[in-house]
């Protein structure tokens, strides 16, 4: 019998794939074994990868529910009390109802975001009846989020999620109450550092530094700099998504189980030019055996674009001594295409931006040759 670990949680035993995962230390008392191991009943690698994602997510959700019900550290305040039940559903009840109604077929990011935002609420305001959260407490919650260093847009997204969770509970339970988070004021945020386009001369300087350093992180920077891709899009690429053998080298950007795409329009083919072409060649020439373009940040279970963002922004700050951040390359791409008078719908197609209008839903879009013609002008 031959055992071979293919990746985290995936074992190949004589051609059959098995799910393997250690039981977390805080939950060992619930299991008769220290390690979960069971057959996925498939010999297909691609099927096994899809299945372990589903199994892992269901386990995480199950374990999360157990921890919420039985937390002794650091959240005894999560335990429901009789008074909570008397006053209607609490925020955990509301979350469970929300996920039951809205979480079906949603991706891992949606589920984790909802869980995380409720955890924020509990940490700051406690697990109380949703009717008891006041507008004063909502303001306190807003201030706490800002103190954590979150931008205005991020705070607004957290509030949008919390409002939706509570609104569904109010409507489904037939409660006669207001949502304390519905009318919270957000101060005007004049800082726009993360959206500042990077000037062309700075881009060239960064690209030169990338070639000198010549490692995985610098390949990622170079790839983004001349494609305008979102960081998560680039980090989650497979090597097979990079098509260098084509007459026009390009990246086939499509969703994967470990990394979804932001919008339907995000699925696209992007011509590879300049420093992005150099980066793609270096990625495919690398000696590692991984199927992923950036295995430091991506595996079959997740795409850790947040870690990549932190590393890239730290390096940019060290080199440029200013506020430019990696997302600025994407904004610069739009400006660079405008500067060569590229038609706006082609700009949108290259960057995967949403294009409005009924007519845009017809046809297959622009061929790669047209996109490449404009990319080569920047």
Tell me the two tokens of residue 135.
């507008």
* pLDDT at site 3: 53
* pLDDT at site 214: 94
Q: 309 and 208: one domain?
A: yes
Rounded mean pLDDT, 45-52: 83
* pLDDT at site 343: 93
Give the DSSP letter of residue 268: E
Q: Does 60 map to a domain?
A: no
Q: Which residue did the predictor score with more confidence, 104 or 332? A: 332
Asked if pLDDT for residue 1 goes beyond 50, the answer is: no
Percent pLDDT > 90 in the chain is: 44
Query: Which CATH number characterizes residue 143's domain?
Result: 1.10.150.130
Residues 148-181, buried b or exposed e (16+ Cβ, 10 A)?
eebebeebbebbebbbbbbbbbbeeeebeeebbb
Q: 169 and 262: one domain?
A: no
- Tally the domains of the chain: 3
Number of Cβ within 10 Å of residue 218's Cβ equals 21
Rounded (10°) angle between helices 108-125 and 45-69: 20
Number of Cβ within 10 Å of residue 124's Cβ equals 14
Query: Which CATH number characterizes residue 315's domain?
Result: 1.10.443.10
Q: Does 63 map to a domain?
A: no
Q: 329 and 205: one domain?
A: yes
Q: Does 66 map to a domain?
A: no
Alpha-carbon torsion (330, 334, 336, 337), positive or negative:
positive
* pLDDT at site 106: 79
* pLDDT at site 69: 54
Task: State the Cα–Cα distance between residues 45 and 138, nearest whole angstrom.
Answer: 48
Q: 208 and 175: one domain?
A: no
DSSP line for 121-132: HHHHH-S-BGGG
Asked if pLDDT for residue 107 goes beyond 60, the answer is: yes
Q: Which of 172, 191, 210 is the last residue of a domain?
A: 191
* pLDDT at site 80: 47
Q: Which residue did the predictor score with more confidence, 145 or 250? A: 250
Domain of 100 in residue numbering reads as 71-191
Which one of 2-6, 301-305, 328-332, 363-367 scores highest in mean pLDDT?
328-332
- The single residue listed with the structure tokens 């008074």 is 83
Which of these ranges, 32-36, 69-73, 337-341, has the smallest mean pLDDT?
Answer: 69-73
Q: Does 80 map to a domain?
A: yes
Which one of 24-28, 102-106, 143-147, 372-376 scores highest in mean pLDDT?
372-376
Q: 231 and 315: one domain?
A: yes
Q: 217 and 361: one domain?
A: yes
Rounded mean pLDDT, 143-170: 88
Give the DSSP letter of residue 209: H
For the segment 280-330, what is each residue's pLDDT rounded down to a tens digit? 999 999 878 889 999 999 988 888 888 898 899 889 988 886 778 898 999
Q: 46 and 83: one domain?
A: no
* pLDDT at site 65: 64
* pLDDT at site 286: 86
Task: State the Cα–Cα distance between residues 90 and 145, nearest whole angstrom.
Answer: 21
* pLDDT at site 315: 92
Q: Does 59 map to a domain?
A: no
Q: 12 and 156: one domain?
A: no
Contact 166, 130 (CB under 8 A): yes
Instruction: Provide the 3-class DSSP secondary structure of residue 17.
Output: strand
* pLDDT at site 321: 65
Q: 261 and 295: one domain?
A: yes
Task: State the Cα–Cα distance between residues 267 and 230, nearest whole angstrom.
Answer: 12
Q: Which of 143, 158, 191 is the last residue of a domain?
A: 191
Q: Which residue did the predictor score with more confidence, 207 or 325? A: 207
Q: Which of 191, 221, 241 is the last residue of a domain?
A: 191
Task: State the Cα–Cα distance between residues 131 and 122, nearest whole angstrom.
Answer: 14
Q: 133 and 277: one domain?
A: no
Which of these ranges, 40-44, 87-91, 146-150, 294-298, has the smallest mean pLDDT?
Answer: 146-150
Q: 158 and 214: one domain?
A: no
Q: 76 and 46: one domain?
A: no
Rounded mean pLDDT, 142-155: 83
């Amino acid at each position: 019998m031959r055992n071979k670990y293919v990746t985290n949680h995936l074992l190949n035993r004589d051609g059959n794939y098995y799910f393997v995962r250690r039981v977390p230390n805080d939950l060992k008392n619930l299991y008769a074994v220290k390690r979960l191991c069971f057959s996925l009943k498939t010999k297909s690698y691609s099927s096994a990868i899809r299945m372990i994602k589903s199994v892992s997510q269901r386990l995480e959700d199950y374990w999360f529910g157990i921890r919420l019900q039985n937390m002794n550290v650091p959240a005894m305040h999560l335990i429901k009390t009789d008074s909570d039940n008397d006053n209607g559903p609490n925020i955990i009840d509301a979350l469970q109802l929300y996920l039951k109604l809205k979480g079906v077929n949603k991706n891992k990011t949606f589920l984790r975001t909802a869980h995380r935002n409720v955890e924020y609420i509990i940490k700051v305001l406690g697990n109380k009846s949703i009717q008891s959260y006041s507008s004063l407490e909502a303001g306190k919650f807003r201030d706490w989020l800002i103190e954590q260093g979150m931008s205005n847009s991020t705070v607004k997204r957290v509030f949008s999620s919390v409002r939706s969770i509570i609104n569904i509970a109010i409507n489904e339970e037939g409660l006669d109450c207001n949502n304390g988070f519905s009318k919270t004021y957000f101060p005007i945020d004049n800082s726009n550092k993360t959206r500042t386009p990077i000037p062309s001369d700075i881009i060239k300087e960064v690209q030169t530094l990338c070639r000198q350093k010549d490692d995985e992180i610098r390949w990622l920077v170079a790839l983004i700099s001349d494609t305008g891709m979102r960081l998560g899009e680039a980090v989650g690429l497979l090597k097979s998504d990079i098509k260098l053998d084509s007459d026009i080298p390009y990246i086939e950007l499509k969703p994967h189980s470990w990394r979804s795409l932001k919008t339907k329009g995000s699925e696209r083919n992007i011509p590879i030019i300049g420093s992005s072409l150099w980066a793609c060649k270096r990625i495919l020439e690398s000696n590692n055996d991984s199927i992923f373009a950036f295995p430091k940040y991506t595996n079959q279970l997740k795409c850790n674009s947040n870690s990549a963002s932190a590393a890239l922004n730290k390096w940019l700050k060290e080199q440029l001594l200013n506020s430019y951040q990696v997302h600025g390359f994407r904004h610069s791409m739009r400006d660079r295409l405008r500067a060569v008078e590229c038609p706006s719908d082609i700009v949108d197609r290259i960057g995967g931006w949403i294009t409005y209008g009924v007519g845009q839903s017809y046809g297959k879009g622009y061929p790669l040759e047209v996109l490449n013609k404009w990319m080569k002008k920047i």
